[in-house]
Amino acid sequence: MTKKSNKKIKGSRKPVDLSNKTLTIVFPTYWCINDKVHENYGGLEPRTFAVAKLFADEGCTVNILAPRGSETKHKNINVLSGSFRAWDGKNPHPYDLEKDLVLSNIDVIKQSDAFIDDDHFHYLTYLKSKNPDDFPIGAWSFDHHPDVLESLPIYPQNIICVSKWQMSALREKFRHLNHRFYQSYSGLVLENYPTDFDPKDKQDNLYLYLARFSSVKAPHLVMHLAEENPLDEFVLLGDTLFAGEYQYIRKVKEAADELDNVKIIFNCSYKEKIEYLRKSIGLLHPGFWCIPGYETIMTSDGMKSISSIEIGDEVLTHDGTFQKVLNKFSKAYSRDLIRVHPRHFGGRYFDVTPEHKIMTRNGYKQACKLMMDDELLQGKSSIDRLNSKNNKEYVNIYKLQMIPYSGIVYDIEVKNNHNFNLKGVVVSNSEPLGLDMLEGLYFGNKVYAFDRGGPREIYKPQDHGLIIPWGPNQEENAELYLRNFKTFKGLKINPEVCRERVLSNFDFKRHSFGIYRDVLFSDSK
């Protein structure tokens, strides 16, 4: 397409016959793909697989590039693999798996009419940016926080964003480049869910937490809710994959065992998830993460401990510029920290909570997921930035440790760049999430979340639940969440209205798939 687009395209402008077209889709390397992938995982893969099936149903030949062991019986879809199965948490790194997957099928990609780069590291996009004429038109979906995207190639990309908020943030962040941004809600693939629904199945005191068991998602707040509301019942469903916080998970489980009104199901089955979505009356969506107060950050006035940072201070970010602190958060914390020792760093190290994100050569990673072969982005000073065309330098990891800690931890929100230098290494601040909210609404649940990022696009306060403001620190946020739960409980929400919110706005096939088709195959390109 020659015309820049930053708006949602509503349907194909000119119908295209896809029966003689070939599309190649690169999948993430974390899971094997099969016809029931939605029963095993609720993230990127089921949506991407739905895109493949919808193109195939329109007669397009679709090549799926996925880890060994992937398979499908769907018509017009071919599954191609590389040398490896899905990542098992060990070496080789997922980036290397993705690279192998792409290079093993490079001829297939080049012979296709279009491709979708829907993985985590976008190695195929990198190849096209180096030799654009060797590859067909492409697009890539982006469903993470804008902070995770450190840079984009100069060659214009078609980037499909999952919300208006995200599209606006990315467009502003990369306004100096000529990329084309589109908005396509990463909604629910409704064929993956049962269609029958009866509001009479609802249990008026049952509340559901549906997320990963990680302190990022704050299931410990649900324990506090259960303690303060003994007549209500709380069910926590989710997986422990990639959480990397075994002590935290153990403590949550121990707390639940002491309470009669809490039930936890780790790695719950699809059937269990649907059962509780049908029965629950409300969906709980808390979450945050932080840095210990003694750690130091470079500011425009010199080094300061993060505990002494104030709103309005200017902190050094990844590109050598100082940006204002917009907000500051804190909370009490009594668990292990991750101590990271960068190589050639003069013996210095830094401590963060396991969930905090650090910029590596392959994008942001939670500290608990760092490996010894990861390379950390070393932040530059303003002087370095002036003296170098490329202000991105990376340092290797010398050692990783777990250390006990009990005290206050902090996080800050930074203007524009949304990251800051922690002893010379770039780390990120907080991010919002929301697939669980859509699932809750679809089954008639009212939703309870903080006002951060995309919740106001997903649902309307009072009509579908409650959205509470994000406070000045973590202690106040926890208090706000606990205190406002009574108001949330008292909301009389019509389950049918919640369900209709998803059907009218977040049906992936009806509202989102057309964007992919138009970007890749519209005759008006």
154 falls within a domain: yes
Q: From CA 265, how far away is CA 267, in angstroms rounded? A: 6
> In angstroms, rounded to a whole number, what is the distance separating the alpha carbons of residues 313 and 473?
16
Could you tell me if residue 10 is inside a domain? no
Chain position carrying tokens 């990376």: 394
Residues with Cβ within 8 Å of residue 172, at least 6 apart in sequence: none
pLDDT for res 525: 46
Mean pLDDT for each 10-residue chunk of the chain (525 residues)?
42 71 93 88 78 96 96 97 84 82 97 90 84 92 66 78 81 83 85 92 95 72 93 88 61 90 90 95 77 65 76 77 77 77 67 81 80 75 32 72 77 67 53 73 95 82 91 73 95 96 92 92 65
User: Are 60 and 174 within one domain?
Assistant: yes
341 lies in which domain range?
292-428
- One domain for residues 415 and 496: no
Residues β-bridged to residue 332? 408
Please list, in sequence order, all residues whose beta carbon lies within 8 angstroms of the beta carbon of residue 102, skipping any fewer than 6 positions away: 26, 65, 82, 109, 123, 124, 127
Six-digit token string for 37: 């992938």
Backbone angles phi and psi of 284, in degrees to 5: -100, 130
Q: Is 77 within the bounds of a domain? A: yes
Q: What is the pLDDT of residue 16?
A: 81
**Measured distance CA(324)–CA(254) in Å, rounded:** 41
3-class SS string, 173-215 = HCCCCCCEEEECCCCECHHHCCCCCCHHHCCCCEEEEECCCCC
Q: Are residues 336 and 264 in the same domain?
A: no
Domain boundary residue among 407, 428, 449? 428
Q: How far apart are CA 372 and CA 401, in angstroms?
A: 11
The CA distances from residue 447 to 24, 237, 485, in Å, are 37, 16, 11
Angle CA 72–75–77, to nearest 5: 60
The CATH number of whichever domain residue 326 belongs to comes to 2.170.16.10
Q: Does residue 6 lie within any of the structural domains? A: no
pTM beyond 0.85: no
pLDDT value at position 320? 65
Alpha helix segments (H runs only) across 258-388: 270-279, 382-387
Q: How far apart are CA 103 and CA 236, in angstroms?
A: 41
If asked whether residues 137 and 229 sit together in one domain, one would say no
* DSSP structure string for 208-261: EEES-SSTTT-HHHHHHHHHH-TTSEEEEEE--TTT--HHHHHHHHHHHHT-TT
Three-state DSSP class for residue 294:
coil
Prior bond to 92 cis, omega within 30? yes
Q: What does DSSP assign to residue 18? A: -
Neighbours of 275 (CB within 10 A): 15
Q: Determine the Cα–Cα distance for residues 31 and 37; give it in Å rounded to an integer.
A: 8
Same domain for 341 and 224, yes or no, is: no
Instruction: Choose one of 411, 428, 445: the last residue of a domain.
Output: 428
What's the domain count of the chain? 3
For residue 496, what pLDDT is reported?
A: 96
- Let me know if residue 415 belongs to a domain: yes
300 with 231, same domain: the answer is no
- Asked if residue 8 belongs to a domain, the reply is no
Q: Is there a domain that residue 11 lies in?
A: no
Residue at a domain's end among 397, 428, 459? 428
Q: How many CA atoms lie within 13 A of 412 on its CB side?
A: 32
Q: Which residues contact 360 (CB under 8 A, 6 or more apart)?
A: 370, 374, 375, 376, 377, 394
Residue-level pLDDT at 422 = 59
**Residues 313 and 178 occupy one common structural domain:** no
Write the single-letter amino acid at 478: A
**Model pLDDT, residue 365:** 80
Q: Based on the domain organization, do 398 and 451 belong to the same domain?
A: no
Do residue 32 and residue 104 come from a single domain? yes
Question: Is 207 domain-assigned?
Answer: yes
315 with 249, same domain: the answer is no
So what's the pLDDT on residue 10? 46
Distances in whole angstroms, Cα of residue 448 to Cα of each of 44, 233, 274: 23, 16, 19
The structure tokens listed for 316 are 């050094």
Q: Are residues 139 and 214 in the same domain?
A: no
Residue 181 shares a structural domain with residue 258? no
pLDDT at 202: 95
Q: CATH number for the domain including 473?
A: 3.40.50.2000
Interhelix angle 123-130/94-104, nearest 10 degrees:
60
The DSSP code for 497 is H
Burial of 112 (0-12, 13-18, 19+ CB in 10 A): buried
